[in-house]
Structures are given as C-alpha cells and as structure tokens.
Structure 1
Amino acid sequence: MTEYERKCLLLWDEMSIRTLLEYNSKADVVEGYQDIGSLRRTRDWANHALVFMLRGLKYLWKQPIAYVVSHGSVSSNDLTLLITDVITAVIQAGLLPKSVTCDQGPTNRKAVADLSVAEAFPFFEVMGRKIFFTYDVPHLMKSIRNNLHNEDFIIDGKVVSWCWSMSK
C-alpha cells in the first residue's frame, strides 16, 4: 500500500451477544468465557463483544482487526489499554492511524478522558504519533434528536424544538 492508502482511522463499538460455550479442538480451549486479550481471561460467561475496525481515511477499505469478549461492558480502564495496544499494533504493522471514533457511551467517554483528550487537545499520542479523536456523527445526530424529543434547546435566546407547532 502507498502512504496515502495506509492512512486510516480506528473505530470500535460494543454489543451484547448471546452466551454460548463451545470447545475449539484446534486451540484446545473452551470459547465463550470472558477473554479480554492480554489483560485477562476468566470463567465468567461472555455476554458482550467489543470489536475494533480499521477504515481507510482517504482510500476506501475497511477491516475488522480485533475483538474481545467480556462479561458485561468492558471497563473504561481496560478499554483505554486496549485502544493503545491496538493502535500500537496497527503502527507496528506499517499502517498510519490518524484518528479514532466511537459512540458517546459512558465507558467510551471515560476512556477518552483517561487518554487526556479534551476540547483544547482533541488528540492523544501513541508511539510519538498524534491520534485525533471524534465521536461518531450518526450517533451524535441521534442523541440530538432524542434530546429534542424530550426537551427544547435555547440558542441565542431562541427556542429550538422538535415540535412543529407555531404556538410553542
């Protein structure tokens, strides 16, 4: 890949999964227990999967690259470590991660704060490289819509409302 093609962004999302234990004869291991990669493996049944995916920044490609399964949501401390571990592996593989994105769930917000991302510094560093952070725009739009359904916004003294009525 050219340098242009290797520029990418890292996305992650977590989802609930059905619990299931299954024997993997090739690896001689029972799968379906909590397995958070190098951090730990327990005998708790996994009911969540956290998936990391790379997407080309300027060139159209995407590839799931890692996942962990957990009992409940992955903690923000574990997520912070996983993010930096995944980015380190991506850099070592020769790719050029420039940005990360996720939804604004509480675990993600805490992990991003733990990476010292803030309005004044919308990036963190891994292996001396700046990695910029953005929330997933479709999720932001959905959150705005949901908040407008519940409450009005006041911007510059004017009411912004989901209600179409002129009487409001």
Structure 2
Amino acid sequence: MRDVTNNLTATPETEQVKRGRGRPRKPDAMTGAQRQAAYRERRRAVSIDVTVTENEGPVDQMQILRELHERQVSVLRNQLARAEAELSDLRTTTTGSGGAPAFEVMLRLLAMACARKPLKAQLAIRESDVWRNGVAGASGVSDEQMKRVAAALAGNLT
C-alpha cells in the first residue's frame, strides 16, 4: 500500500504502468484531420490529361460516302420527277374538262354497273329522262361514242 506522507516520486520498480488499449501509435502517424486534409489535397492535385488526335482516315471515308449518297439522292429525285410527270399526264388524260372523269372511265363504270342488272333495269335506264336529256340529247357526241354507250349499258363493253 502506498504511504500518504511520502512525497517522493515512486520508483518504476515498485509501480507498473498499465499499457493502453488498442494498437500503439506509430511516431509518424497522422490524425484524422490531417488524413482528411491530405486526401482533399490529393483530389485537387489530380488533373485530367486529355490528348486530342486528328483522325484523317474516317473523314475521307465520310466524304466519299456523302458524295455517293448525294448522287443517289439526285438519281432518286430525277426518278421522282419523271414519275410525277407521268402521273400528271395520266391525270390529264383521265379527266376531261372541268375535272370530270374521261369518257372511257365513264363507259367502264357504266358497263360495270349494268353487267349485273337484269334486262328490265337496263331498259328502264334507257327510257329515263336522265338518259334522254343527258346522254341521247348531248351535243358533241359522235355516233361511235353513242354505240359504245349503248354497249356499255348492255354490259358488253369491248
């Protein structure tokens, strides 16, 4: 036991110092704050080095492909223009004056309509006022056209 009246320091032989808990610190170890500051400094110091190179090969290939596609586009545009001109010609031949269907188209439609009608219905059409005033009394209709209209009414258009 220790003497309370003794003011002298204790000799190391008599008292043993307890060892601290955990792993002992190294002499050059950093504190948590020092470690964090070093980490931030390393992060700031890292720079991104970018190397820019010019690729000349693909640019030449792209130029060749672009020219090829431009030629294809011009060929397709010419084909489209020819097709539109042909369609325009067909429209003008199938439409008469005033945008009405041409005579041939009307004959085909009449033949299709009358092919399935019985003879009585065909005769009723021929005897109607619409037929008399619109078809038989039409001016500028040749005899050949009238014969073709009569054949279409019978369903025998050739």
TM-score by length of 1: 0.21
Greater helix fraction, Structure 1 or Structure 2 = 2
Q: Hey, which of these two has a bigger chunk of strand by percent?
A: 1
Q: TM-score, normalised by structure 2?
A: 0.23
Larger gyration radius, structure 1 or structure 2: 2
